């Protein structure tokens, strides 16, 4: 049986993952309005991954006898001052998510909840990858600067991204 503290923390993380998913969906809308469908495609995959992360926690909580408590999700932003701001926002979001998962892991360690610690190891590893990926895209956008040809090339490159197979 899962403790009430861990149950509450996992519910908060589920909400954070769903919120992140919604933020990426707002980014999809922004890029589609800007006719940057490759960037939109990349953000759509991020949206789908965040949903998968939420569902992984959702299922874990139920499997441990916990109760899921879904909360309201704030309306996502859909207006940005360019591609750089979108990816800088995405990086900030991923860093906040990493911090949240780290806190959840620390709580599980403090409470001696080894099953939750084991489950969260996947999330710790995933966040290293998420931050690296978004940082790389942001660096490429910075390199492209205001060069329309470079941005269109990057848009095309990001549009070829394939979803990662779910490793559940």
Which residue segments constitute the domains of the chain, with CATH numbers given?
4-159 (1.20.1260.10)
Residue 166 has what pLDDT? 63
Summarised one tens digit per residue, pLDDT across range 81-119 is 999 999 999 999 999 999 999 999 999 999 999 999 999
Does pLDDT of 20 surpass 60?
A: yes
The reported pTM is: 0.93
The string of pLDDT tens digits covering residues 30-62 is 999 999 999 999 999 999 999 999 999 999 999
Examine the pLDDT at 168 and tell me if it is beyond 90. Answer: no
Cβ pair 125, 6 in contact under 8 A: no
């Amino acid at each position: 049986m899962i403790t009430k503290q861990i149950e509450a923390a996992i519910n908060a993380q589920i909400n954070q993952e769903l919120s992140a998913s919604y933020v990426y969906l707002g980014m999809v809308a922004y890029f589609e309005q800007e006719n940057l469908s490759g960037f939109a495609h990349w953000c759509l995959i991020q949206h789908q991954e965040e949903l998968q992360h939420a569902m992984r926690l959702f299922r874990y909580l139920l499997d441990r006898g916990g109760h899921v408590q879904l909360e309201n999700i704030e309306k996502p932003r859909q207006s940005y001052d360019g591609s750089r701001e979108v990816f800088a926002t995405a990086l900030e979001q991923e860093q906040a998510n990493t911090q949240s998962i780290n806190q959840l892991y620390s709580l599980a360690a403090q409470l001696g909840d080894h099953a939750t610690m084991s489950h969260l190891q996947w999330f710790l590893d995933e966040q290293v990858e998420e931050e690296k990926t978004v940082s790389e895209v942001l660096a490429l956008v910075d390199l492209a600067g205001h060069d329309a040809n470079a941005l269109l090339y990057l848009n095309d490159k990001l549009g070829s991204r394939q979803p990662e197979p779910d490793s559940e």
